[in-house]
Amino acid sequence: MPSLIQRRDSWLRKGLENSGSIYFFYRDVLFKYPFLRLFNVYLILRAKLQGTSIIHVIGDSHAMPFVFKTPFVIHHISQATAYNLNKENSFSRSKQHLHAFLQRINKRRDVLLLVFGEIDARVHIYSQYCKRNKAVNIAEIIQATVEKYGETIKKLRDQGFAVCIHGIPPAARKNYTSSLPFTGSTQERSQISTIFNRQLRNFCHDNAVAYIDVQTVSADDEGFISDEYAADDVHLSSKIVPLIREKITEAFGDKRF
């Protein structure tokens, strides 16, 4: 028999899924749920009344910096990877969630900001490298991941959405005692993140998709996430948001934010 807390959590999560936004499911921020929904309603009304655009942030936990920031509406897909974003029945059900979110987005007015790939770079790419006994060039695994991610990106672009891609943040400097999984050394993860961003940027350039380079801004002199921009072990803080809004405004000059 589910406990009262479990039933409450299940009810909240279902409600947020149905409304098009799943908030980050951490116990210490449960109180924010109703306020986030009200904020999203405000942004939608603002867009309708003032003729402004909404930036819909669809991503994993790296969408967190945009919470309660104008004009960003958050659609969170827990534990989603860039590689499996277009896969049927993945563990995170990311394709199904993405499809549900897209139904509520105004193609003519709004912008999609996709925020995926950090989990791939922190865990899965090096894991696949080891599973293949390190016999394949790791850049090839990264390229395969970017190409799979690119399937979703191109599909959304071809469907008429204004798509923008958020590069992944720099790797963490050290091995943290954390519930988050890490694979490879800090240097290996930093190398993976750098190559991933370079290949993702090149893909976006080749396919006329806007790309936002957050690594250059948020990395320290050694290529790791800087204390200035770090929210925790692996996530960027909201300090990065003004830059991203500026870059999106530059990329989509026909829209008002």
Secondary element (H or E) of residue 198:
helix 186-206
Whole-angstrom distance, CA of residue 187 vs CA of residue 26: 30
Q: What is the pTM of this model?
A: 0.86
Would 104 be classed as within a structural domain?
yes
Question: What's 168's DSSP letter?
Answer: P
Would 128 be classed as within a structural domain?
yes
Whole-angstrom distance, CA of residue 40 vs CA of residue 151: 29
Yes or no: say if 148 and 86 are a contact pair by the CB < 8 Å rule: yes
pLDDT at 10: 52
Q: Return mean pLDDT, the chain.
A: 86
Would you call the peptide bond into 71 cis, given omega within 30 degrees of 0 as the criterion?
yes
pLDDT at 33: 63
Question: pLDDT tens across 197-253, in order?
Answer: 999 999 999 999 999 999 999 999 888 999 999 998 789 999 999 999 999 999 999
Q: Is the pLDDT score of 9 beyond 70? A: no
pLDDT at 184: 81
Range with top average pLDDT, 11-15, 87-91, 121-125, 193-197: 193-197
142 pLDDT tier (thresholds 50, 70, 90): very high
Would 229 be classed as within a structural domain?
yes
- 3-state DSSP assignment of residue 126: helix
Would 153 be classed as within a structural domain?
yes
Whole-angstrom distance, CA of residue 147 vs CA of residue 181: 24
**Bridge partners, 224 (sequence order):** 171
Would 50 be classed as within a structural domain?
yes
Closest CA to 233 of 85, 123, 74, 115: 123
Question: pLDDT tens across 46-72, in order?
Answer: 999 999 999 999 999 899 899 999 999
Buried/exposed 33-61: b ≥16 CB within 10 Å, e otherwise: beebbebbeebbeebeeeebbbbbbbbbb
42's CB contacts (< 8 A; 6+ apart) are: none
250's CB contacts (< 8 A; 6+ apart) are: none
Number of domains the chain contains: 1
186's CB contacts (< 8 A; 6+ apart) are: 171, 172, 173, 174, 175, 224
**One-letter amino acid identity for 37?**
R
- 3-state DSSP assignment of residue 34: helix
Closest CA to 248 of 5, 85, 72, 59: 72
Domain range enclosing 46: 4-251
Question: What's 63's DSSP letter?
Answer: G
Whole-angstrom distance, CA of residue 16 vs CA of residue 198: 34
Would 257 be classed as within a structural domain?
no
Which is higher by pLDDT, 243 or 37?
A: 243
Would 42 be classed as within a structural domain?
yes
Q: What percent of the chain has pLDDT over 90?
A: 68
Say which CATH number the domain at 216 has.
3.40.50.1110
Count Cβ atoms below 10 Å from residue 165 Cβ, excluding itself. 25
pLDDT at 178: 55
Q: Which two tokens stand for residue 31?
A: 């109180």
Q: How far is CA 199 from the centre of its chain?
A: 17
Would 256 be classed as within a structural domain?
no
Secondary element (H or E) of residue 218:
helix 215-218
